[in-house]
Structure 1
Amino acid sequence: MNQAIGIIDSGVGGLTVAHELMRQLPREKLIYLGDTLRCPYGPRSEEEVTKFTWEMVDFLLDQKIKMLVVACNTATAFTLNELQNELNIPVVGVISPGARAAIKSTNNQQIGVIGTEGTIRSNAYTEALKSLNADIEVSPLACPLFVPMVEQGTLSGAKADEIATNSLSPLKTNSNIDTLILGCTHYPLIKETIQKVLGSQVTLISSSEETAREASTILEFNEVLNEGLHAPAHQFYTTGNMGVFAKITERIFKESTDSFQSVMIEKATITHIN
């Protein structure tokens, strides 16, 4: 089936999921929409996040996608069940795959989770982890400064080190975690900085690989994998600054991508910006 996989995120972080999908499913076309104009979603109310998420979903449904990947932890926490119930296509989030990977990784049953205020407030990761293993000890921590830092393109250096050190200090002083879930798809972009602050004894878990694997399994089960021989032309949309979006995209993919466009999304009405 030649229809595309749709990916939504509050900004650029979901591009880490897109990259992994491209690696694992090289024949699949991707249509990515990052709502960088209204990023971050973490401090917003559940009602507001739900509204914005549906606006992104409506945009992608107009593109006749065959699967939706919610590559935003906050949106996954607040809207995944509703999307799965309302849509007639498979919908994959990033929380359950990340939780499963962390359970496999930990040796001392102590797992940390960092994310936006919304994701941490939802307790979605704690519930997902406890449902897999009730004995797991979870240490959640909101890191509200990380997403703006990434969206501004500050991925390393002295400023990034300072923000990470201050943000992660509660985990270093109050926990004995051996595994940390990067509970926001922006965070893999500063993985090296986070690792430097926490030390090599802590294993960092990004849900991108597990999410792509789950998407692949679902497509295969439903017999809707793309059997085409030619490399697909992916499409990337952003609601905000094209310069930062393009810069970070090229940093993730190590090359120029096929198609960048800016869009305005308001309800289901889409206005393209030339």
Structure 2
Amino acid sequence: MVSKIGVFDSGIGGLSVLKELIKTFPKNHFIYLSDEGYFPYGTKEREEIIERGERIVSFLKEKKVNLVVVACNTMSSVGLPYLKEKFSIPIVGVIEGAVEKAISTTKNGKIGVISTPLTAKSHIYKERITSLLPEAQVLEIGSQELVNVVEDGIIEENPVFPLAKRVLSPLKDVDTLILGCTHFPPLEEIIRRIIPHVKIVDPGKEITFKLKHLVECNSNLKLEFYTTGDKNSFKRKANIFIDNFNFEVKEIDI
């Protein structure tokens, strides 16, 4: 059984996944790594993303984690198969649970996905959804701009609303929307204002169901945070996801 979990993302977005993991497993040991020094993944080449994934999982393995959660859709879509083959410890991504939830949620078969450009270009959500629901119509939209505003700590309605409205305009007919980037949960209220009827699928929430049979609880919650960027910037922006964030953050170079 798993008792020490490593979680990583290209930036702060993966904290949305960590938050859900803490809710479900409140007595566990988590190590979170934010690869801000190499943000964003969504505009990089596949080989570079895989290399970052290998370095990060190696670091987490040195920290004796016995499960790694790839809290990044881009890494999950591009690098996960390689990482699972390379390392012996269990490594899980955020895509499968979201796909299953979207299929069980949609009524009209029209499913939207908002993500980074690279995740959209990979068509992984469309491929996975239509393999299980062939008649589904899947519309994938990639927006690095929307990812960037959250990574910069900007989630206020102005200026995010006009940008989100423009990005989401092609998705007005979908009845189910997958947040295909872990940066997007803080924008859920804005998204609901733009597409009021839509059912939102948050992969961070779905992954906890996948892990329930693997994770055992310790006696106390323990959290460790690392960043390849600036620790003060990370601490400031982390409050978007974790209220009153006051944990120590260590800068690393990997």
TM range (shorter): over 0.9
Alignment of 1:110-121 (within 5 A): 110-121=110-121
Instruction: Tell me which residue corresponds to 2:145.
Output: 145
Question: Hey, what's the Cα distance between the residues in 1 that align with 2:201 and 2:237?
Answer: 21
> 1:257 deviation in Å?
4.5
- The one of 232, 236, 251 aligned to 2:240: 251
The aligned counterpart of 2:40 is 40
Aligned match of 1:204:
200
Q: Which residue of 2 aligns with 1:233?
A: 222
Q: Hey, what does 1:215 align to over in structure 2?
A: 211
Corresponding residue for residue 181 of structure 2: 184
3-state SS, counterpart of residue 55 of structure 2 = helix
User: For residues 232 and 99 of structure 2, what CA distance do their matches in structure 1 show?
Assistant: 33
Structure 2 residue ranges without an equivalent (≥5): none
Output the CA distance in 1 between the equivalents of 2:16 and 2:213: 19
Asked whether the equivalents of residues 16 and 241 of structure 2 are also in contact (C-alpha less than 8 Å), the reply is yes
SS of 1:264's partner is coil
How many residue pairs get aligned? The number is 254
Q: Deviations over 1:92-128 (max 9, x none)?
A: 1001111111111111111001110110111111111
- How far did residue 19 of structure 1 move? 0.6
The corresponding residue for 2:250 is 261
SS in 2 for 1:139: strand
User: Which amino acid letter does the alignment assign opposite residue 213 of structure 2?
Assistant: T
Can you list the C-alpha shifts for 1:251-272, whole angstroms capped at 9, x where unaligned? 322233443212121xxxxxxx
Task: Compute the displacement of 1:59 (Å).
Answer: 1.1
Kindly report the root-mean-square deviation, in angstroms, between the aligned alpha carbons of the 2 structures.
1.5
Runs of 4+ in structure 1 displaced over 3 angstroms? Answer: none
Q: CA deviation at 1:91?
A: 1.1
In the alignment, is the contact (CA less than 8 A) between 2:27 and 2:222 conserved in 1?
no
Kindly indicate whether the alpha-carbon contact (under 8 Å) linking 2:186 and 2:240 is maintained by their aligned counterparts in 1. Answer: no
TM-score, scaled to structure 1? 0.88
Where does structure 1 lack aligned partners over 5 or more consecutive residues? 220-224, 266-274
| Conservation of the 8 A alpha-carbon contact between 2:2 and 2:214 | no
What is the alpha-carbon distance in structure 2 between the residues aligned to residue 103 and residue 259 of structure 1?
40
Q: Whole-Å Cα distance in 1 between the matches of residues 246 and 21 of structure 2?
A: 14
Distance 2:155 2:96 in 1: 26
